[in-house]
Amino acid sequence: MAAPLKLGVAGLGTVGAALVALVTRQRGELAARCGRAIEIVAVSARARGKERGLDLTKLQWFADPVALARSPDIDVLVELIGGAGDPARAAVAAALAAGKSVVTANKALLAAHGVKLAALAESKGVALNFEAAAAAAIPIVKTLRDGLAGNRVARLYGILNGTCNYILTKMEQERMPFAECLAEAQRLGYAEADPTFDVEGHDTAQKLAILASLAFGTKVDESAIYVEGISSIQSADLSAADELGYRVKLLGVAVRTGKGIEQRVHPTMVRKDAAIAQVMGVTNAITIDAEGLNPLTLVGPGAGGPATASAVLSDIADIARGLKVAPFGRPTARLAAVRKAPMQRHEGGYYIRLMARDRPGTAATIAKRLAEQDISLESIVQRHDPGEPAVNGKGRPVPVILITYATTEDAVRKALAAVGRDRVISGRPQVIRIEKN
């Protein structure tokens, strides 16, 4: 049997601790599969004395993860520090520069510096593996990189953030408002104290940037992504969606269009019969449409210590078995710059909810503005809430829900701006894009 593969683990948070436990528990299995033992020999973390439920006494300790990365005692750096900046970035770069393979779960780092780091790995002939960086235990990186190596991907879309999906599920199932569901998610540890990064879609965008690169052979480019979060979603939208046969999910979507690659993150109406619409709670899922194939959907745990450690360990096992693939599936020189399809030219159906002032001519005005932009309507529902009393002899604003046939983002924005100028609505219109399945 070959010499053991020696790992240095930088970062001992939830994932690091789960990884140490998993490597220990699976020692025999891993050796059988890989033809060599896998051993953690050194670690680095901020606080040495912290209680983690792990026996670290036999491991070398490094206060500085960069020193760990350069240590001649390790073959592979496992970077679980997180964040796009140092020390994560410096440690990964140092390991690659020293000719060591790197396994990382760091989506922020890859979204910001993925191509540069991949080029460095390539020049040194080592691996840079990151299955855990998007959707944790769902093998989506390997599926795009290896499983669909012979296919041309037309579109991928996914639920890539468990926090948002938990909140939307709760809002839908218990008819609770966003703020309450967020608070509940925080109580359960599904959402951070500052939830902005998750609920405003940035976490999803970083993962989407990585997946789009793998799917389309383009350079990772987070800045090419249009991002909109879920904080504006109201229970009324979820009820309306339900009645219309849809569910609302925060999706990351990347599509090959005639105008380039469209990448966007936003609340999305998906038909209830879509595989992705069935995905509830913190679970993640990704659907891939490859040309000439029916869709492929992967559903599973997208976050958490054990799920992330599982993906990290699969990457480590690949290295132990001598497998090495270009990090983004092809040499970095072959990765194209993203030809960004502008969001204004996005085409699709739209759900629009307006609060119309209850006076004669309002519906006609709205319909006229939409018609001016060549927007055709699949349905329009205007409903007086029977329980709602009239105010000062006049009715309160009445919700009007419109579903359009395929149109463009630009047309919708222009039409709604005109409706706004007409002063026939109250508040901002709610707009949710519909994704076909």
219 is catalytic: no
* CA gyration radius, the chain: 24
Question: Which range touches its own copies (CB under 8 A), out of 71-79, 232-240, 305-313, 381-389?
Answer: 305-313
214 binds its own copies (CB under 8 A): no
Please give the Cα distance from 215 to 256 (Å, whole number).
10
Tally of residues, the chain: 437
Nearer to its own copies among residue 260 and residue 300 (C-beta): 300
Say which residues have a Cβ less than 8 Å from residue 359's Cβ, sequence separation at least 6: 394, 424
Q: How far is the CB of 108 from its own copies (least distance, A)?
A: 23
Nearer to its own copies among residue 110 and residue 307 (C-beta): 307
403 binds its own copies (CB under 8 A): no
Nearer to its own copies among residue 307 and residue 402 (C-beta): 307
Q: How far is the CB of 129 from its own copies (least distance, A)?
A: 11
Q: How far is the CB of 139 from its own copies (least distance, A)?
A: 3
Q: Which of 100, 170, 207, 219 is catalytic?
A: 207
CA distances from 117 to 167, 271, 324, 336 (A): 35, 39, 15, 16
Question: Which range touches its own copies (CB under 8 A), out of 19-27, 80-88, 166-174, 402-410?
Answer: 19-27
Question: Which range touches its own copies (CB under 8 A), out of 193-201, 327-335, 355-363, 424-432?
Answer: 327-335
Contacts with its own copies in 114-133 (CB under 8 A)? 131
10: amino acid identity, one letter: A
DSSP state of 34: H
Which tokens sit at 417? 């701006």
Element (H, E) at 121: helix 107-124
Please give the Cα distance from 167 to 284 (Å, whole number).
13
138 binds its own copies (CB under 8 A): yes
CA distances from 190 to 52, 263, 432 (A): 20, 26, 25
Which tokens sit at 12? 């001992």
Q: Residue from 310, 407, 408, 430 that binds its own copies (CB under 8 A)?
A: 310
SS3 of 390, please?
coil
Nearer to its own copies among residue 28 and residue 49 (C-beta): 28
152 binds its own copies (CB under 8 A): yes
Say which residue the tokens 């500052």 belong to: 194
Contacts with its own copies in 242-301 (CB under 8 A)? 275, 278-279, 283, 290, 292-301
Nearer to its own copies among residue 278 and residue 382 (C-beta): 278
Nearer to its own copies among residue 239 and residue 278 (C-beta): 278
Question: Which range touches its own copies (CB under 8 A), out of 4-12, 18-26, 220-228, 378-386?
Answer: 18-26
Residue 287 in contact with residue 276, Cβ under 8 Å?
yes
Burial 158-193 (b: 16+ CB within 10 A, else e): bbbbbbbbbbbbbbbeeebebeebbebbeeeebbee
Question: Which range touches its own copies (CB under 8 A), out of 146-154, 193-201, 218-226, 401-409?
Answer: 146-154
State the CB neighbour count (10 A cutoff) for residue 86. 13
Please give the Cα distance from 387 to 231 (Å, whole number).
27
CA 58: distance to chain centroid?
A: 37
Contacts with its own copies in 71-100 (CB under 8 A)? none
Cis peptide before 177 (omega within 30 of 0): no
2 binds its own copies (CB under 8 A): no
Q: How far is the CB of 252 from its own copies (least distance, A)?
A: 19
How many residues line the site for its own copies (CB under 8 A)? 58
313 binds its own copies (CB under 8 A): yes
Nearer to its own copies among residue 82 and residue 306 (C-beta): 306
Please give the Cα distance from 2 to 30 (Å, whole number).
13
**Active-site residue list:** 207
Which residues of the shown chain bind its own copies in the complex (CB under 8 A)? 22-23, 25-26, 29-30, 32-35, 131, 137-139, 142-143, 146-152, 217, 275, 278-279, 283, 290, 292-301, 306-307, 309-311, 313-314, 316-318, 321-325, 329-331, 334
